[in-house]
Structure 1
Amino acid sequence: MNPNHRILFAGDPHGNFRPLIEAVRKCRPEAVVLLGDYDLECPLEHYLAEIIGLTEIWWIAGNHDFQSPCKYHSLFNSSLADYSLHLRVKEIAGLRIAGLGGIFLGRVWYPPAQPKWINKRHFLNSQKTAQRYSELSLKYRSAIWHDEFEAMKALQADILVTHEAPSSHRFGFAAIGELASAMGVKHVFHGHLHENYAATIRRNIRVVGVADQVVADLAGNLVNAGELAVSD
């Protein structure tokens, strides 16, 4: 087996999981990592039934996964719910992979600006009495919260997967690169922006952007397109 195929990274499916399924059948990876924005109408395992048992399936959430209760519950209450990588590190196919789902939201934290809230409890306590004891709305659940982001810097990993992009992309954030550097990662894979590219940021960290409905391997090769993501 091609060693670069032992883990595959799937760009935003937006309801179309066929490219990922075909890539798994072709490459037989030990694991796949999904980079968010699934647009689910039923539980995630229904879409991936053909490859469950063939490979490990890990994921992070994107902004689309919080757009409606159906999309949210189809992901977070699916049989694959425990395979979320958000805010944690797991050893997958011999590599330590960390995940950061969600997006930067102006009403919560939009770097380089300072965060508007210390944490979720700070935000909820600021609300009207009736709302203080309620759960966060889906919109706020989609946000990257500053305190959780900072806590990740104490973790160590080989690969960081994110929905948002680092500053390698024109719409990316330097904060993602700072997180990757603090964690000692060598590679960042991200979705969200629907572009295939590869670049290098500070501390020689390799970034691979994976476009929607595209699958990349550990080297940044697009395994369902037969070409490199892009040269630096």
Structure 2
Amino acid sequence: MEWTDEGIVLSARKHGETSAIVTLLTRAYGRHAGLVRGGAGKAARGILQPGNRVEAHWRARLAEHLGTLTCEMTHAFAAAVLDDAARLAALSSACAIAEAALPEREPFPSVYDGLLALLGAIENDVWPVAYVRWELGLLTQLGFGLDLSECAATGRNDQLAYVSPKSGRAVSLAAGEPYKGRLLALPAFLAGGGNGAGPGALLDGLRLTGHFLERHLFAPMGVPMPAARRRLEERLRHGAGAP
């Protein structure tokens, strides 16, 4: 039982005195864990930071065993954002959601590619919009995509302003006005309005995707939203001066 693949580090937890249990998102083998001998050492900790891209080699006697991993760094995404608390929070949140939401050892190459693209975008100024779109894409890849193409009530695609928290379908400004207290806000950048977004729109986007992540992924498993995701939303809320 042996494979080699590219992967993104999702987490690394100390095991014993010197080793670490590392969870990767690999392109061909999905979310996959393994024991890294020496993974708790100073040199290895730099490689095994969540968000880093590695070349991984896994080996085990039987397929169902935890097995051992060796990882060689190919891109240090984490190091690029260590001095920026908000970007680091986004990186940590994405890795935590991927680890919690994805089934073990099932390949999702499109999810891997999406996370890799997000890690690259976090280094750019439009990273908050890219992050919200990544969560929206994750829902789609796992079979819970939202329909933001037209109004659920009128069938038109203009002035889309809300999303039904039940159906996940868009609702126009006029059709949603009587029920807006029960609807989720749809920020313009998710309704075809480009990459520009103010703090309020970004928070609306996080509330929207967060609602469906909890409803479709975490609540059925009986687990809460990852703490790293809650910290990201809190950081953006405080940065925007929102209560």
Q: TM (normalized to structure 2)?
A: 0.24
Q: Which has the higher helix share?
A: 2
The structure that has the greater radius of gyration is 2
The structure, 1 or 2, with the larger RCO (C-alpha pairs under 8 Å, 6+ apart) is 1
TM-score, normalization: structure 1?
A: 0.25
